[in-house]
Amino acid sequence: MAKIKNPLEGIKVIEVSTWFAGPTCGMWLGEWGANVIRVEPIEGDPLRGIMASGLLPVSDYNWMWEMANRSKRCIALDLAQKKSQEIMHNLIKDADVFLANLRPSTLERAALGYKTLSKLNPGLIYANITGYGAKGPGAEWPAFDETAFWARSGIMSTMGEEGTPAVPLRGAMGDNTTGIFMLGGIALALYAREKTGKGQRVDNSLMGNGMWVAGVDIMGALVYDFWIGRFSRKTMGNPLYNTYQAKDAKWFQLQMLQTDRYWSGMCRALSRPDLETDPKFNSHGNRVKNNVELIALFDQEFAKKDRDEWGKLFDANDLIWAPALTPVEVIRDACALENGYILEYDHPTHGKLKGMRCPIQLSDTPSRTPYPAPEFGQHTEEVLLEAGYTWEDIAKFKDEKVIL
């Protein structure tokens, strides 16, 4: 059996994507060992300018670009030109994976449609992420994760307190989720190719992934044809499945579905043995019946100690809980650090950088240490020379503005 260091060693990926969902998938492919060549438009990807958008604090370190594009090489082509399309076909003819997150018509105009590329390379895995699916009325609609993953999937309607306006949600969460789902789809298609010798198309969408993430609510709608509505923490049916605030104003989550199993431990943690036999709360049914009163009682009790104090009491009684951490707290959390979810690598400009490791971890063929995200067009000449072009060809391409 052949020995490999990383599971995708020897896999060549040509990525034509933008913003986050496609690039995130390409980054994971690269860190699992694939040779990922990111093809940017001649004007550059808009994510390169995100630090000047006013959405984030101004910085000379574009950490969002770094997050989605490390462990790749980058070339810049004007895909509107026929010469660039010929270069793309030359790169793709021996590739294993073509990865994109563009509208089908955009890919067709650039001679990068599925029929064209699968004819050129029958073993190619053709993976494209759309906003609302490759078929139907939304196939050509523009989308970001807030619109397709959060809003149209049904997730947004479930968020926030009952009776409050729809909540603006954080960007890129849906992109990151969709990217890692696509990683799995590509891996499945590569495995199938080992058995069939044939490539295939892999479709994925922000909306489809959002529906799966909201699967409990979607399944409920399929079964009952109605929606239970948003939760309100003051009226949660199960008071042991709720959020609470401690004395130090820090929040935490309780999640105990088998409440009879945990009720004695909760009463011990609260130093309230009287509650265990209180006829209003001494069974799951009674706690549900008197939920509003019990939640109000919990609010009063939890306001007496800081969150860390409650955490020790919960742990001592084997209760299921977690602190509601801020991102700054997460990067210092022992669970994140001990499991290697935070990594460090070298950057030629910014020195030691920290980032996040893939949550999927393999014991014998792990992901590799990242290398920095590329500068715009950094590897154009290198990649073209590898593809058989000469320095004379490259000079001509530059004169014709085919490449950067």
pLDDT at 63: 84
CATH number for the domain harbouring residue 174:
3.40.50.10540
163 domain residue, yes or no = yes
What is the separation, in whole angstroms, between the first and last Cα of the chain? Answer: 43
Q: Which of 141, 140, 152, 214 is nearest to 177 (CA)?
A: 214
CA 155 to each of CA 20, 162, 166, 231, 358: distance values in angstroms, whole numbers, following the listed order? 19, 14, 10, 13, 24
Instruction: Say yes or no to pLDDT of 369 above 70.
Output: yes
242 domain residue, yes or no = no
Predicted TM-score of the model (pTM): 0.90
Q: Per-residue pLDDT tens for 10-30? A: 999 999 999 999 999 999 999
Q: 379 with 73: CB under 8 angstroms?
A: yes
Give the model's confidence band at 1: pLDDT under 50 very low, under 70 low, under 90 confident, else very high.
low
What does the alpha-carbon distance between residue 367 and residue 2 come to, in Å, rounded to a whole number?
18
Q: In the chain, how many domains are there?
A: 1
Instruction: Say yes or no to pLDDT of 246 above 70.
Output: yes
What does the alpha-carbon distance between residue 171 and residue 95 come to, in Å, rounded to a whole number?
31
136 domain residue, yes or no = yes
Left (φ > 0), alpha (ψ -120 to 50) or beta: where does 98 sit?
Answer: beta
Q: Per-residue pLDDT tens for 185-197? A: 999 999 999 999 9
101 domain residue, yes or no = yes
pLDDT at 62: 86
What value does the mean pLDDT take over residues 221-236?
A: 90
Instruction: Say yes or no to pLDDT of 254 above 70.
Output: yes
Average pLDDT along the chain: 93
335 domain residue, yes or no = no
354 domain residue, yes or no = no
Residues composing the chain: 404
Question: What are the beta bridge partners of residue 99?
Answer: 15, 127
pLDDT at 208: 96
Left (φ > 0), alpha (ψ -120 to 50) or beta: where does 36 sit?
Answer: beta
CB atoms within 10 A of CB 110: 22
What does the alpha-carbon distance between residue 233 and residue 62 come to, in Å, rounded to a whole number?
38
164 domain residue, yes or no = yes
Q: Per-residue pLDDT tens for 45-61? A: 888 887 777 777 777 88
What does the alpha-carbon distance between residue 404 and residue 300 come to, in Å, rounded to a whole number?
64
Q: DSSP 3-state assignment of 323?
A: strand
What value does the mean pLDDT take over residues 311-331?
A: 97
The domain of 96 spans 12-213+363-399
